[in-house]
A = this chain, B = another copy of it.
Amino acid sequence: MNNDDQTLPVAVVVGVGPGNGQALGARFAREGYSVALLARNREKLLGIAQDMPHAHAYSCDVADPVSVRETFEAIRQELGDVDVLLYNAGSGVFADFDEITPEQFESSWRVNAMGAFLCAKQVVPGMERRGGGSIIFTGATASLRGNVKTAAFAPAKAAQRSLAESMARLLWPKGIHVALMIVDGMVEKPGIDKFMKGRPVEALIDPAALADTAFQLCAQSRRGWSFQVEVRPALENW
C-alpha cells in the first residue's frame, strides 16, 4: 500500500465484480479516493484492483457479521475513516414462490438487506462524528415491485429500500447523504450476451453511467439532495 492513501478520502465498494462494482471503484479512484473493494472471492478482486490506482482488495462475506466487522476494522486501520459507502452486493435467485426454499428466501435477505445493515452500522458512527458522508445503495426494479420470478429477490430488495429510507430520514439532518439507485435494466458485463436475446448493447446499462450517477449523488449540495434515482437505459421498456 502507498502511504499516501491514508490522507485520501475513503470509498468502500461492497460487492465488486466486473460490472457495477468495478465501475464504482474506478470512478471514485479517478476522483482521488482511496478505494476499498470488497467481495467474497479475493482472487477475483485482485485482478480488478491491480489496474485501479489507490485500490485495495478485501475479502468479505456480507452474510457473516464477523467478517463484516473485521473487514471494516481493517479498512479503518489501513485507509482511515470511511467517507463513502457504496453498497452494491445483491445477488438473487430468480424463481417464483413455489420454487424457492426458505434457505433461498433467507440468503437473499442476508446479502441484500442484513448485509447492508451491518456495513452501514460500521460506517455511520464515524460519519456522525465527522458530520458528513455518503451511503449509496444499489437497488433494483425489484426494490419497488414484487414480480412472479422475484419471490426471494424482491422482498430482500424491498427491505433494503425501506432500510435506506429509514436511515435517510434519520441521517440526512446529521449531514449523511443516504440514497438509493434503482437499477432498471440489464447491466453490461462479461457473459451478459447470452441473456440479451438480440438486444443491442445500447439497450444495456453502462456501468460507467451508473457510477457517474453514484458520484453525482455524493457531490450534491446539502440544500438539494436526492434519495431515489433510477438508472435506466433510454431503450428500456418500462
Contacts and interface: CB of A to CB of B under 8 A. Distances in A.
Given A114-B102, A156-B159, A162-B155, A97 B171 contact: yes
A67 to B, nearest CB: 13
A192 interface: no
Interface of A: 65, 96-98, 102, 105-106, 109, 113-114, 117-118, 120-121, 124, 128, 142, 145-148, 150-151, 154-167, 169-173, 175, 177, 188, 202, 204-206, 208-210, 212-213, 216, 220-236, 238
Given A105-B114, A226-B229, A228-B230, 9 more contacts: A96-B170, A102-B118, A145-B162, A146-B163, A155-B159, A205-B223, A208-B221, A225-B234, A227-B232
A177 B233 CA distance: 10
B222 A226 contact: no
B220 A224 contact: no
When all copies of this chain in the complex are counted, the total is 4
A209 B221 contact: yes
A59 B34 CA distance: 51
B158 A235 contact: no
Nearest to A110: B106
Contacts of A177: 234
A135 to B, nearest CB: 10
Contacts of A222: 202, 233-235
A124 B148 CA distance: 15
A67 B229 CA distance: 35
A169 B147 CA distance: 7
Nearest to A175: B234
15 contacts: A97-B166, A102-B114, A106-B114, A154-B165, A169-B238, A204-B223, A209-B221, A209-B224, A212-B220, A213-B220, A213-B224, A216-B216, A226-B229, A226-B230, A228-B230
Nearest to A149: B166
A236 B168 CA distance: 11
A127 to B, nearest CB: 11
A117 B165 CA distance: 24
Given A148-B169, A162-B154, A210 B224 contact: yes
A160 B135 CA distance: 25
Nearest to A176: B234
